[in-house]
Amino acid sequence: MPLLQRRHDEDALPGGGRLPVLPALRELLPEGLQRGTVVAVGRWSLLCLAVAAGASAAGAWCAAVGLPQLGVVAAADAGLDPGRMLLIPDPGAHWPQVVASLLDGCELVLVRPPGRPPAQVRTRLAATLRRCGGVLVVAGGWEGAQARLLVARQEWAGIGTGHGRLRACRVQVAADGRGAAARSRAQWLWLPGPDGSVGGADQVTISAPDMRDTG
């Protein structure tokens, strides 16, 4: 029996009812990713990957539905484990079923719905989420999402007119949501930082760690 118990718990992640997030995002998502909920990120961007990165690094499986353009290298740099990713680039018209099936197996599902999802689909997926205990990260709008994140401003550093190169991007992310996450917050992040990772950026200093280009 102890063996069975251990096997059963193998998939459990630390944190119990929630999935961990990257340290840089803890201010924006103080509760982490609450299992069984939806996190809406305004549009497809590195922020979606950053939201998923903490849980993926902790061992969660992450599926990406309807995102043929997902940059896997950027995902890996942000902290996702490519070995625990499933990509379903073209789910077709039946993406809700695909998402529901994936939620059975993966803790995290990233999805970009082709249009505005009808209320019925949202209700159905919400029920699936509650049953499976996964987290749905939506690249787009989603009414009734537990948390909403939005890139408010972004500034690229390291590139000039005709010289330098893209080194890092300082991004202001705004967050609000429901329940305990209702208070709206904003935070500056390096998204991505000079090595592709995600880190907190000081609000005052504008310069990246090394903005001088050698080439």
Partner 1 sequence: MTATGNVPERVLVVWCPGWPETGTGGDEAARDEGAGPDAGHGAAEFGRVVSVVEGFCPRVEVLRPGACAIGTLGPARYFGGEAALATKIITAVGGAGFASQVGIADGLFAACLAAERARPVPGARPSPGARPVPGARPAAAPPGAVMTVAPGHTRAFLAPLPVSVLDSPELTDLLPRLGIRTLGEFAALPAAEVANRFGTAGVVAHRLARGLAPRPLAPRPPPADLSVSQEFDPPERRAEPVVFAAKTLAERMHNGLAASGLACVRVQVQAVWEDGRESTRLWRHDGLLSALAVADRVRWQLAGGPPAPSPAPPPGGDRTTVRIPAPIGAVKRTTDGYPRGHEGQGGGDEEVWGGGVRLLRLVPDQLVHDQGWQLGLWGDAVASDRVARAAVRVQAMLGHDAVTRPVLAGGRSPADQVTLVPFGSTDDRVPPRRRPGRPGAGRPGRPAPDRADEPDGLGAARVDGAGEPDRPWPGRIPAPSPATVYRAPLPARITDDSGATVTVSGRGVVSAPPARMSADGASWLVVTAWAGPWPVAERWWDPRTARRRARFQLVTEDGAAWLVAVQDGRWLIEARYD
Write the DSSP symbol of residue 49. H
Of residues 30 and 164, the one with the C-beta less far from partner 1: 164
Q: Where do we find the tokens 């961990």?
A: 20
Task: List, in sequence order, every residue forming a beta bridge with 154; answer none if it has no partner.
Answer: 171
Which of 23, 155, 179, 209 is the binder for partner 1 (CB under 8 A)? Answer: 155
Examine residue 156 and tell whether it contacts partner 1 (CB under 8 A).
Answer: yes
Examine residue 83 and tell whether it contacts partner 1 (CB under 8 A).
Answer: yes
Q: Rounded to 5 degrees, what angle do the CA atoms 135, 138, 141 make? A: 135
7-46 residues in contact with partner 1 (CB under 8 A) are 10-11, 44-46
Task: Measure the CA dihedral 133/136/141/142, to 10°.
Answer: -20
First CA to last CA across the chain, in angstroms?
A: 63
Of residues 16 and 161, the one with the C-beta less far from partner 1: 161
Of residues 90 and 143, the one with the C-beta less far from partner 1: 90
We find the least distance from the C-beta atom of residue 83 to partner 1, in angstroms, to be: 5
Which of 28, 106, 147, 189 is the binder for partner 1 (CB under 8 A)? Answer: 106
184: CB partners within 8 A, 6+ apart: 174, 175, 176
- How many other CB atoms are found less than 10 A from the CB of residue 133? 14
Which of 12, 17, 23, 82 is the binder for partner 1 (CB under 8 A)? Answer: 82
For residue 194, what are its two tokens? 């000079």
- Single out the segment in contact with partner 1 by CB under 8 A; choices: 17-25, 141-149, 151-159, 174-182: 151-159
We find the least distance from the C-beta atom of residue 99 to partner 1, in angstroms, to be: 9
- How many other CB atoms are found less than 10 A from the CB of residue 176? 16
We find the least distance from the C-beta atom of residue 120 to partner 1, in angstroms, to be: 5
Which of 76, 150, 186, 211 is the binder for partner 1 (CB under 8 A)? Answer: 76
Examine residue 74 and tell whether it contacts partner 1 (CB under 8 A).
Answer: yes
Tell me the C-alpha distance between 51 and 116, whole Å.
Answer: 21
Using DSSP bridges, classify how beta strands 135-139 and 37-41 pair: parallel, antiparallel or unpaired.
parallel
Residues in contact with partner 1 by CB under 8 A are 10-11, 44-46, 49, 61, 63, 68-77, 82-94, 96-98, 100-106, 120-121, 124, 131, 151, 153-156, 159-169, 192-196
